[in-house]
DNA sequence: CCATTAGTGAACAAAGTTGTTCCCTATTTG
DNA sequence: CAAATAGGGAACAACTTTGTTCACTAATGG
């Protein structure tokens, strides 16, 4: 019945994908080695050999470049603030449609129950993305496209937050909504 | 040890508060008659006598005027859009600091797992509040304070959404943040 | 003061679920 | 081809936890 017995990275990647999928449709507390093993089509022993807690596994899956957020996002560098913002938010929306993105939602929602885990997720995933957004705004300020006062964490967070809630409510966010957020909210908000 | 044996409404109210508290610090799926009974300091039989499912209990607690959102919110009617918005959002923030408000968060977060329950919560709580916000905007349009194009569900949702995510992340939202949201986002967004 | 209603607390068992390990064998490597 | 490594699957038991009901008694009301 099994096509072949996987080993090494092939198996690890399958396990990571299983972790993120399970996380995406439940929550961290419901994550068990049992479910992960069956979702990955392997036995629990293969998991126990490598990780000892679900938290380790989640962080490993999120850190992996293939399945998670292994490398920080690239700055778009389109030359204008508007296009940079649209590119970043579209990238964000695309990520939220993948398992790695959907896996973030339960972690964010229950952040207060697992502060240490969320802290690492924040460092690993959220902060780098905020940094990119901030650098985009900084360049816009240098070009005179945005007010220097826009460089606050608060303002930086508005775009991702609106996207996040939209994704939470409706599922996928279409690009028309992204441009609407950029043009009606973010650009007015940062105008010099 | 028990001061007195409660009956009728006194007991019902205690049960409702227990339901909302339990919900506030966990989620709907973790809500059991067991936990509710101990939180309310009563036995499970008293619950079984009245309700047969946790969903019924949640809706009853949210519908109750004393513990939940029994009566729709009053329009502020301050005379200006800015003050109306601030009043509404502050009311919202205050509700989110009470059990009835915190109980909404898990219901919203897991809305896809319990569509029928969320649908009723939406009708009972969310829609009436949206209606008030919309009527405030409508009055502002009539006075010429806001653009007629502002009367969209999307724009109406921006304020509550920003508050909601802020509450999710940080706990309580102070009024300085509310005025900042109103002045920097909502007013520019609705300007004629 | 008695009868009725309704709350309390515990009993009771059932059920599902999870952590952990062991054996067998497919794959790899020398 | 043989030895070593590591995956697959299942066994195993234990535990937690819940739903449901029963007998007892405090409160109510005639």
Which stretch of DSSP H or E encloses residue B162?
Answer: helix B153-170
The structural domains of chain A, ordered by start, are 8-63 (1.10.10.60), 81-190 (1.10.357)
- HSE-CB at A91 with a 13 A cutoff on CA atoms is 16
Position B2 confidence tier, pLDDT thresholds 50, 70, 90: very low
According to the model, what pLDDT value does residue B5 have? 87
| Residue of chain A minimizing CA distance to B106 | A109
pLDDT tens per residue, range B42-89: 999 999 999 989 999 999 999 999 999 988 889 999 999 999 999 999
Cα B155 versus chain centre, distance: 19
pLDDT tens per residue, range A100-125: 999 999 999 888 888 999 999 999 99
* B163 contact partners, CB below 8 Å, separation of at least 6: B89, B92, B93, B96, B173, B178, B181
pLDDT above 60 (res A80): yes
Q: Average pLDDT, stretch A135-152?
A: 95
Position A153 confidence tier, pLDDT thresholds 50, 70, 90: confident
Q: Average pLDDT, stretch B117-129?
A: 94
Helical packing angle, B153-170 and A153-170, nearest 10°? 110
According to the model, what pLDDT value does residue A140 have? 97
Q: What percent of chain A has pLDDT over 90?
A: 73
pLDDT above 80 (res B1): no
Q: Which residues of chain B have a CB within 8 Å of the CB of A109?
A: 109, 168
Question: Is B130 an interface residue toward A (CB < 8 Å)?
Answer: no
pLDDT above 90 (res A72): no
pLDDT above 50 (res A1): no
CB contact under 8 A, B180 and A111: no
Cα B99 versus chain centre, distance: 9
Position A169 confidence tier, pLDDT thresholds 50, 70, 90: confident
Residues at the strand C interface (Cβ < 7 Å): A 4-5, 7, 30, 32-35, 43-45, 48, 52, 54; B 1-2, 5-8, 11, 41-46, 49
- Helix (H), strand (E), coil (C) string for chain A: CCCCCCCHHHHHHHHHHHHHHHHHCCCHHHCCHHHHHHHHCCCHHHHHCCCCCHHHHHHHHHHCCCCCCCCCCCCCCCCCHHHHHHHHHHHHHHHHCCHHHHCHHHHHHCCCCCHHHHHHHHHHHHHHHHHHHHHHHHHHHHCCCCCHHHCCHHHHHHHHHHHHHHHHHHCCCCHHHHHHHHHHHHHHHHCC
CB B24 within 8 A of CB B105: yes
């Amino acid at each position: 019945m099994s096509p072949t017995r996987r080993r090494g990275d092939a198996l690890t990647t399958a396990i990571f994908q299983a972790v993120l999928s399970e996380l995406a449709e439940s929550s961290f507390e419901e994550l068990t080695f049992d479910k992960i093993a069956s979702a990955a089509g392997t036995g629990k022993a293969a998991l126990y050999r490598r990780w000892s807690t679900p938290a380790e596994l989640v962080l490993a899956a999120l850190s992996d470049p293939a399945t998670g957020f292994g490398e920080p996002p690239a700055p778009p560098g389109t030359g204008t603030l508007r296009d940079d913002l649209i590119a970043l938010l579209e990238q964000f929306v695309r990520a939220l449609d993948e398992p790695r993105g959907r896996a973030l939602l339960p972690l964010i929602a229950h952040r207060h129950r697992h502060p240490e885990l969320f802290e690492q997720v924040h460092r690993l995933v959220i902060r780098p993305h905020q940094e990119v957004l901030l650098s985009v705004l900084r360049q816009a300020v240098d070009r005179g496209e945005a007010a220097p006062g826009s460089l606050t964490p608060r303002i930086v967070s508005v775009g991702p937050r609106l996207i996040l809630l939209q994704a939470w409510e409706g599922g996928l966010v279409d690009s028309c909504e992204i441009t609407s957020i950029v043009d009606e909210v973010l650009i007015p908000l940062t105008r010099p």
